[in-house]
Amino acid sequence: MKTSPDVSPDQPPVPIPMGANVSNKSARRGWWGWIAAVVLVGLIGWGLMPRALPVEIARLETAPLQVTIDEEGVTQVRHRYVVSAPVAGHLRRIGLKPGAPVVAGQTVLAVLEPGGADMLDARSQAQAEARVRGAESARDQAVAQVAAAQASLELARNEAERLRTLGARGLVSARDREVADTNLVTAEQDRRGAEFASQVAIHELEQAQALLLRAQPGAGGDGATMAITSPIDGVVLRVWQESARVVSGGLPLLEVGDPADLEVRVEVLSRDGVAIEPGAKVRLEQWGGIQPLEARVRLVEPAAFTKVSALGVEEQRVNVIADLIQPAGGRAPGLGDGYRVEARIVRWEGDVVPRIPAGALFQRDGVWQVFLVDGPKAVLRTVEPGHSNGVHTEILSGLAEGDEVIVYPSDRVADGKRVTRLEINAP
């Protein structure tokens, strides 16, 4: 039997049971076992708890928004002229090639050897006289249209300059200045069109007078020739008849035009054409240059047509005609007739628009909803969307500035689900 060391020497030793030390060790081991069990249960519970779902989050912001109609377009010369054979005869070989410059009334496009006796009857002479009188009236009308177009251009130029001065002082809106600039561009194009029509009318008169002279008795011998000159200043666009041959009256010979006067023809769906207004902005991309070109819609043609898409679906489409306004002069370096461009027609735009990524919206039972991030949880919220361009969508109600929403929510996201921000490391 052991004695206790904590006793006085004068006192007799107190006996200690043999199993007491073993009992203390067992008690300590029991406590450690309970602690380990609690920790193990805690780790198991923590591992079984649903973890926060990583999601991509975007914030509602106020920024400009544009809604565009994106379609392919083709450039074309606004005013083109197809030169035809005025009478039947033998056409000499045409030596001009596409791109050759021509001058109105000076450059000989083709030489024709008429039959001589084809226009000696009374009926042909009467037709030639009537044609001369009609050509004279057309020339006078074209000259008057040039004067009217010039007056409209001066008025539009003065109006644009006045609004530009007032705009610098903050007295008129940017919208009014844009309308004035559009009217100025339209007036300039109308003036160019009137001058083109005047040149064509003068050319028609000269051709009619030449035919009338040839209809006189003795004026058309077998060796006589008729020189067909260019009606406008420009270049040769296409040559339809290059080789020498016998041609009939009215047969197209070649086509001339001014490549500096370009416009763009864009085919859009008829339902999109209804929303496009004259004067709408157009941005031309993928035309071959670095910077996009600017244009304005001049006309939405009133008649649509049926076209089969690449997928074999019949579509009703309509042509939208736009005028180039940049660079100045209406022609970019290297851009010509029949060139392909990608047009973005602005259907609607706003400078201060509350918007979120379009991928954050989804529809349930006909109602548009988003998942709002409220602290660590996702909250289902009903919203009212406005305009959308496929990338961003306007929010009319349901969200406040600074709210964060989940972009492209998966099926795992639910109302009350714990979420965490997904960190995307850009390369």
CA distance 153 to 183: 9
Answer yes or no: is pLDDT of 2 > 60: no
Answer yes or no: is pLDDT of 301 > 70: yes
More confident residue, 13 or 401: 401
Q: How far is CA 296 from CA 120, 260, 268, 347, in A?
A: 52, 17, 15, 12
* DSSP line for 153-177: HHHHHHHHHHHHHHHHTT-S-HHHH
More confident residue, 328 or 37: 37
Could you report the per-residue pLDDT of 149-160, keeping only the tens digit for each?
888 888 888 888
Answer yes or no: is pLDDT of 195 > 80: no
Output the average pLDDT for the chain: 80
The pLDDT value recorded for residue 129 is 67
pTM above 0.75, yes or no: no
Q: How far is CA 294 from CA 26, 32, 78, in A?
A: 90, 80, 17
- As a 3-state breakdown, the chain gives helix, strand, coil percent values, each rounded to 5, of 30, 35, 35
More confident residue, 384 or 186: 384
Give the pLDDT mean for 47-69.
84
Answer yes or no: is pLDDT of 427 > 50: no
Give the pLDDT mean for 264-281.
92
Q: Taking the alpha carbons of 263, 264, 267, 268 in that order, is the dihedral positive or negative? A: negative
Cα separation of the two ends of the chain: 79
Query: Which range has the top average pLDDT, 179-188, 212-221, 362-371?
Result: 362-371
For residue 292, give the H/E element and its range: none
3-class state of residue 244 by DSSP? coil
Give the pLDDT mean for 339-344.
94
Give the pLDDT mean for 294-315.
90
The pLDDT value recorded for residue 367 is 92
More confident residue, 127 or 170: 170
**Taking a C-beta distance cutoff of 8 angstroms, is the pair 77, 337 a contact?**
yes
**Taking a C-beta distance cutoff of 8 angstroms, is the pair 360, 369 a contact?**
no
CA distance 79 to 235: 12
**Taking a C-beta distance cutoff of 8 angstroms, is the pair 372, 43 a contact?**
no
Beta-sheet pairing, 419-421 with 53-59:
parallel
The answer for residues whose C-beta is within 8 angstroms of residue 94's C-beta and 6 or more apart is 109, 110, 239, 241, 242, 253, 254
Answer yes or no: is pLDDT of 236 > 60: yes
Q: How far is CA 267 from the centre of its chain?
A: 11
